[in-house]
Structure 1
C-alpha cells in the first residue's frame, strides 16, 4: 500500500482523513489521468482486505480471470490492500485509456481472495441492486474520461436471503471537498446540429467534460436519419425528423413517441430540455421518473419582437404586448423541477416576467484554447488582405450565426460608415438562414469579407486574438460566449448596451451602443479605434483573467446542481438512497 505524503495531500487540498490509497494513488492526487477514484462506502468492519478491479465493459470480459485478460492484451487493473483501521477508503486505479469500463469492489473480511458470499461484501460501479447472480455488464458500465473520474461504490453483504447494503449508508466525503454523484443526463436538444452555433459548442463541451465528473451525457437531437454517434463522455442519438423550413441546417422534433422510446431505453436520472418549444413539451410529457430541467439558452422575445418593434415601442411595452408568450413559458416551466440559465442577465429577465426563479450556472469558456498568446500579426494581415486592405487598417471580427437577431446587415452598414474616418476591414465568420441578406449587405459595402462557417476552433482562437476588436449586433445573447472568448484572447469589445454581451463590457476595454442603431454602432467603432490600442488590449487581457471563468467551473456548478436534484447516492431506481 502506498500512502500519499500528508504534505502533498494538504497542498492538493485533499483532507488527510480522505487519503487516496493504492499503488496508483499518484495518478489521482496529481490529476494525471486517465484514472478512476473508487470511493467505497458501507464497510461492515475493518477486518481483512479491500480490492477494486477494473474490467472491459463487455459481456465476455466482465469478471473474467485477470490472467486470461492480460494474456489477451485486454485492460485490467487492481488495487488491493489491508483495510485501513480508520478513515475513508478511496482507491485509485490507473486506466489505460479513456473509455467505457466496469468496476468491481470486494471486501474480504478474512483476507481470502476467493469470494465467499456468506462472509464477504461486494459492490459494483453504478450500485445496481444485487440478486443471486452477477449483474449484467450494461448495469455497471461507466464512462471514464481523460482526467480523474470519481466512482462511488456501496458494499453489499448477505442480509437474510439477499445481498444488500447495511441499512442506509452515508455518502463518503469527496476527497476534494465535493459529494460524488454519478448521473446519466439526457439532453433533448432541439437546436443541436452539425453546423449549429453556440448551442452546439456548449453541448459538445458538456459531453466532453461529463466523463471527468463521473457522469454520462446523452444528447437526443432531431436529424435527417436515425443513428447513434458515440462520443467520449456520452453519445448523440439522432432521431429522424423533418427539416426546419426557415433554416435547413436544423431539423425539428415532430413525433413524441420516437423521442420517448429513446428515453425509455436510456432511463436518465436528469432529463434536460434545452429549448422552450416542441422538444420541451416532449420531455415534459415523458412518463419516466427523471428529474426535469428546462435550460433556457435564449430569450425569444428579446431576440425577435424587441428587434422587429424596437423602433416603435419601448422594450417594456413589447414585453407586455407579448404577455401571452410569458404565460406560455410560465405554464411550461411549471412542468419542470428547475429552470436553469447561463448568466445573470437572462435570470433577471425571466424572473421579471414571473418565471419560476431561475438558477444560474454561469457559462465559461475553454481558457486553454483562447489566449492572447495566439495573436499573430501575419494572420491579421492575411485576413485584412481578404477585405482588400493592408496591415495598417483596423480589423473588426464578427462571429455568430447568420440569423435576424444577430443584426449582421446593420453591423456591416456601421463598419462601412466608419470607413469615412479610417480604413476598417470587417471579417464575418458564420452561416445561417440570413446568409443571403448578409451577402447582399456585404456586396453593397466596402472591405467586408464573409468567410462562412469555420469549424476549426483553433483558427477561431487565433483570429480572435489577432483582431483589433470583436463587434457584435445581438442584444439578446444570454451570456455572450463569443464576447467571453474575445476577452480571454485579449481583444476589446464593441457590443450593444443590452444583453449578455453587455454584462462583459466595461469602458476600460469596450464601447457600447443602443441596440439596433446603425449610427450608434458606427460611433462606437470610431470611439474605440480612436483610443490607444495597447491600453485597450492590456485592459482586455486583464479582464479576461478576472471576468471570464473556465468552462469547467460552469459544469462543476451545473453537475452539483443536478446532483442535489437527484439526491446524492440514491440516484437510480433500485439503488441505495443516502
Structure 2
C-alpha cells in the first residue's frame, strides 16, 4: 500500500496487494461511503451518513470512511473532503473539481465495499476503481428519475427518459443496488440490498411539549418536494389552519408569492433550517401535524421522525417511510390535492398515540439499522460475484 494510504488510514500497513476479505475473515470490514449531495443543511442523506459515522466510529468489526465534497482537500479521522466549488448557498451543496481526487482516495483506502450515494460523481469511474482494488461497488438509490425531473421547470415527461438513461448507465457496472423502493424502472434491475430507514434517539414521544395549532413542513424548499401542492391544500381547506415551512431552498420566494396570490399569506410562515435533533423533535411534537407532501420521496426521514416524536404525520402513499408508521401516518394518493387536504384534516383531528410512537422509535433505532446493514455487506463481500451486464 502507498505511503499516502498509510496517512489516510492513520497507521502502518503492509505493502503489496491486499487479499480479499473472504480470505482474511478476522480483519475489520473496510467500508467507504461516497456522497456528492452532502451540504451543511441537506436532509436525509446527510442524516443517514452522519448517524453512520457516529455509530461506526469505534466499531471493532468495521473500518468506516466517508468521502464528500468540501472547500479544500483534507483527510482526518475517517472523513475525507475533496475540493469542490459551492453550488447552492441555501443548502451548502458543492460540485467537485473532477473525479481524479475521488479515484485516488479510493485507491489509497483500498476498501472492501464502496457505497456510492449519488449517480453524478463519476459513477462508472468509482465502480472501475472499486473493482481494480478488489472491492464491491454498491449504488445507493436515494432518488429517482421522477424526483430529479420534478426539480426542473417544464414538462417532466421530457426529462424523465434522460434521467432514466443516466441512472441505467451509472448503475451498469455496480455489483449491487441498495434501495428502499423498486429500482427496476430507473436502473433496469431490482435492488439487491435493502436501504433501511433509521432514527436518532432524540426522536421519541414528548408528552410534555404542548401540541400547537400549526401544520408544519420540514425540509428543502423545492418544487419536487411537493411544497406548492401543500400551499394549494392549505388554500382549499375548510379550516384556516396556520402553515409553517421549516428549512431553506430555491423555492422560498416563489412560495411566499404563491401564498399571496392564493390569499393565505397571513397563514403562511417561514422558519430557518433546524439542525439540532432534540430541537427538531420538540418542533415535531409541538405541531398539530407534520406534512411530507413529496410524491417522489424515496427516503423521506421526516415522516418517520415526526411520527416517532409523537406527531400525527401526513405523507403520500408513494413515500416508503409512511408504510413503516402504521396508523401514525395519514396518507393520500399522488396528485390528489383534495386528498392531501383531507389527510391533513384527519391528522389534525387525530389524537397522538405515544405508545405507538415509542414502539416505532425502538424498532428503527440507528444502532439496529447499521448492525443489519453491516451483516448484509459482509454477506455481499463473501458471495460469488456475478456482475450485471
**Shared fold, TM over 0.5:** yes
Distance 1:302 1:193 in 2: 19
Is structure 2 residue 215 aligned with structure 1 residue 396? yes
Contact preservation (8 Å) 2:48, 2:198: no
Distance 1:229 1:446, change over 3 A: farther
2:134 to 289, 292, 298: 289
- Deviation of 1:448 after TM superposition, in Å, equals 2.1
Deviation, 1:201, is 0.8
- 1:188-337 equivalent positions in 2, closer than 5 A: 188-214=34-60, 215-228=62-75, 230=77, 234-235=78-79, 237-244=80-87, 249-286=92-129, 287-305=132-150, 322-323=160-161, 325-337=163-175
Measured after TM superposition, the shift of residue 474 of structure 1 is 0.6
Alpha-carbon distance, 1:414 to partner: 1.9
Q: Which structure has the highest helix share of the two?
A: 2
8 Å CA contact retained: 1:362, 1:554: yes
Distance 1:374 1:181 in 2: 46
Matched-pair contact (CA < 8 Å) for 2:150–2:224: no
8 Å contact kept, 2:183–2:190: no
Q: Does 326-335 or 458-467 show the bigger shift?
A: 326-335
Deviation at 1:208, TM superposition (A): 0.8
Paired position in structure 2 for 1:509: 328
Change (3 A) 1:194 1:309: closer
1:355 aligned counterpart, secondary structure: coil
C-alpha distance in 2, partners of 1:169/1:248?
Answer: 43
Q: 1:358 aligns with which of 170, 192, 211?
A: 192
TM-score norm. by structure 2 comes to 0.81
Distance 1:190 1:456 in 2: 22
Shift of 1:543: 5.4
SS at match of 2:106: helix
Query: Separation in 2 of the partners of 1:546 and 1:197?
Result: 21
State the structure with bigger RCO (CA 8 A, min sep 6), 1 or 2.
2
For 1:369, the equivalent position in structure 2 comes to 202
Q: Distance in 2 between matches of 1:516 and 1:207?
A: 37
- Please, what TM-score do these two structures have when normalized by structure 1? 0.56
> Match for residue 524 of structure 1?
343
| Count of residue pairs brought into register by the alignment | 361
Match of 2:370 among 542, 555, 562: 555
- Give me the whole-angstrom Cα distance separating, in 2, the residues matched to 1:241 and 1:261: 15
Stretch of structure 1 that moved more, 215-224 or 351-360: 351-360
Bigger Cα Rg: 1
Taking the aligned partners of 2:175 and 2:216, their CA distance within structure 1 comes to: 40
The Cα of 1:370 is off from its aligned counterpart by 0.9
| d(CA) in 1 for partners of 2:122, 2:40 | 18
For 2:38 and 2:224, the matched residues in 1 are separated by: 18
Structure 2 residues without counterparts, runs of 5 or longer: 1-8, 15-21, 384-389
CA contact (8 A) 2:171 2:187 kept: no
- Change in 2 beyond 3 A, CA 1:511/1:554: same
Task: Call closer, same or farther: CA 1:170–1:196 in 2, change over 3 Å.
Answer: closer
Aligned match of 2:13: 139
> What whole-Å deviation, never above 9, does each CA across 1:304-353 have from its counterpart, x for those lacking one?
3599789xx9xxxx59x845544443333231111112x2xx1x243686
Q: Take 1:407 and 1:293, find their aligned partners in 2: how far apart are those partners?
A: 29
Partner SS, residue 243 of structure 1: strand
Could you tell me whether the CA contact under 8 Å between 2:148 and 2:163 is conserved in 1? no
Given that 1:475 and 1:501 are in contact with CA atoms closer than 8 Å, whether structure 2 keeps it comes out as: no
Aligned to 1:424: 241
Alpha-carbon shift at residue 355 of structure 1 (Å): 1.8
Alpha-carbon spacing, 1:202–1:375, altered in 2? closer, same or farther (3 Å): farther
Q: Which residue number in structure 2 is paired with residue 436 of structure 1? A: 253
**What is the aligned partner in structure 1 of residue 306 from structure 2?**
486
